[in-house]
Structure 1
Amino acid sequence: MSRFGASSSGLRPPIVPDGLPEVPFDLESEDLHEKVLFADADLSGVFAQSVEFGQVRFRAARLAGATLPKVRLTDCAVERCDWSNLRAENATMERVAVSGCRMTGLAWNGGLLRDVTFTDGRLDLTNWRMARFDAVAVTGCNLSGADFSNSDLRGARFTGCDLTGAQFSGATMQGARFERCELTGIGGITSWTGAIVHPDDLIGLSYVLAGALGIVVSS
């Protein structure tokens, strides 16, 4: 069995068996897929609801433009995949490691993320409205233009991420952590009560706060 990403952050890493059998990538509503490998497969644009994946490894698997409402991933590894513009409302990730993936425009609104890591990926223009982040670490990712409106980010940590123009209006931020992130042009700064920000990020954040308060910074 291989275990991913155990760290001092306290996240529970996914447990994904070694030597998983590779099977054809096919999805229908209410499917259950367990202990398999989906590699170099393309299901762009597919529609299937209430699909469940358990102890599955996705490697270079395409779900671009797919619609998977209420999909559930548990103990999964997602590697170098293209899930751009995937719509997965009210979906769940639990003990999932996502690395090197393109997820531009992904919609996970109303969903749950628990013990999830995103590393070195494109998550720009993603939709996380009303999602709950419960022990989530995002590292080295492009999140420019992402929408976190009314989401619960109390269990989220962002490190080395580009959050340019991201929207946080109405988000719950108590305990959310930001370190070495680009915060230019973020929206909803008044929702940041209780957020924990690294000193290196304060300069960029101060300009956003000044703008929200109507303060003019002269050159």
Structure 2
Amino acid sequence: MTYITDKDFKNEDFSEKGLNEADYENCNFSNCIFSGTNLSNYCFEECTFEGCDFSNTKITNTAFKNVSFKNCKLMGLQFDECNPFLLEFNFTGCILNYASFYQLKIKGTRFNRCTMHEVDFNETDLTKAVFAECDLAGAIFSFSKLEKADLRTSINLMLDPEQNQLAGAHFSLDMLPGLLGKYNIKVD
């Protein structure tokens, strides 16, 4: 396997030529297009992606180890198909609509100012995760572990407290309707 370390990639369009198959460590990808590429079985460790487009990218068995995504378009990505070994990432200003984190153990993950419409968090371990100023419209939380998670500044959250583990989780008063929605209670 080829190893690429400490390299900067800027304004590259990998959707046409593809990204060389390798393990990438401590690399920075800025304004790159991965749309429609197959990154299956790649490894990214301590890498940063900023302003990148991953629309329709295949990430089966891809390893993301301590990876940061900033202002990236990650629509529809199946993170649940990633390699779970040492899986660790965080997201700032990203569009994650229709992504799936189904059954992942991603404790302590930070989502900052992300748009997360219709994201699948079913059976996901989000213990101590932070959702700061995120739009969670239509996000699905069922049998998820949200213990000690912080969702106070996010909007459009709907979840059933009886189907999720919420001990120690932080919510704002504005979220009360989204937590009581199944009871058809009106909160004024």
TM-score scaled by structure 1? Answer: 0.72
Aligned position for 2:60: 89
Secondary structure at the aligned position of 1:171 is classed as coil
Contact 1:85 1:107 in 2 (8 A): no
Residue identity opposite 2:132 in structure 1? T
**Residue 217 in 1 paired to residue 154 in 2?**
no
Greater alpha carbon shift after TM alignment, 146-155 vs 158-167: 146-155
Secondary structure at the aligned position of 2:49 is classed as strand
What is the CA–CA distance in structure 2 between the aligned matches of 1:137 and 1:119, rounded to whole Å?
A: 8
What is the CA–CA distance in structure 1 between the aligned matches of 2:140 and 2:44, rounded to whole Å?
A: 26
What is the CA–CA distance in structure 2 between the aligned matches of 1:192 and 1:172, rounded to whole Å?
A: 5
Aligned position for 2:141: 168
Question: How much has 1:36 moved relative to structure 2?
Answer: 1.4
Question: How much has 1:165 moved relative to structure 2?
Answer: 0.7
What is the CA–CA distance in structure 2 between the aligned matches of 1:92 and 1:35, rounded to whole Å?
A: 17
What is the CA–CA distance in structure 1 between the aligned matches of 2:92 and 2:52, rounded to whole Å?
A: 12
Contact 1:45 1:67 in 2 (8 A): no
Give 1:150's match in structure 2, choosing from 114, 123, 126: 123
Q: Which structure shows the bigger proportion of residues in strand conformation? A: 1
Give 1:207's match in structure 2, choosing from 170, 177, 181: 177
Give 1:55's match in structure 2, choosing from 21, 26, 30: 26
What is the CA–CA distance in structure 2 between the aligned matches of 1:79 and 1:106, rounded to whole Å?
A: 16
Aligned position for 2:78: 107
Q: Alpha carbon RMSD of aligned pairs, Å?
A: 2.7
Counterparts of residues 161-200 of structure 1 (less than 5 Å): 161-184=134-157, 186-187=158-159, 189=161, 190-194=163-167, 196-199=169-172
Question: How much has 1:198 moved relative to structure 2?
Answer: 3.6
Distance 1:168 1:70, change over 3 A: farther
What is the CA–CA distance in structure 2 between the aligned matches of 1:162 and 1:43, rounded to whole Å?
A: 29
TM-score scaled by structure 2? Answer: 0.83
Contact 1:150 1:168 in 2 (8 A): yes
Question: How much has 1:90 moved relative to structure 2?
Answer: 3.7
Aligned position for 1:135: 108
Which consecutive segments of 4 or more residues in structure 1 shift more than 3 A? Answer: 45-48, 110-113
What is the CA–CA distance in structure 2 between the aligned matches of 1:218 and 1:177, rounded to whole Å?
A: 22
Greater alpha carbon shift after TM alignment, 186-195 vs 103-112: 186-195
What is the CA–CA distance in structure 2 between the aligned matches of 1:85 and 1:124, rounded to whole Å?
A: 12
Q: State, as a whole percentage, how many aligned pairs show the same letter.
A: 21
Aligned position for 2:51: 80
**How many aligned residue pairs are there?**
184
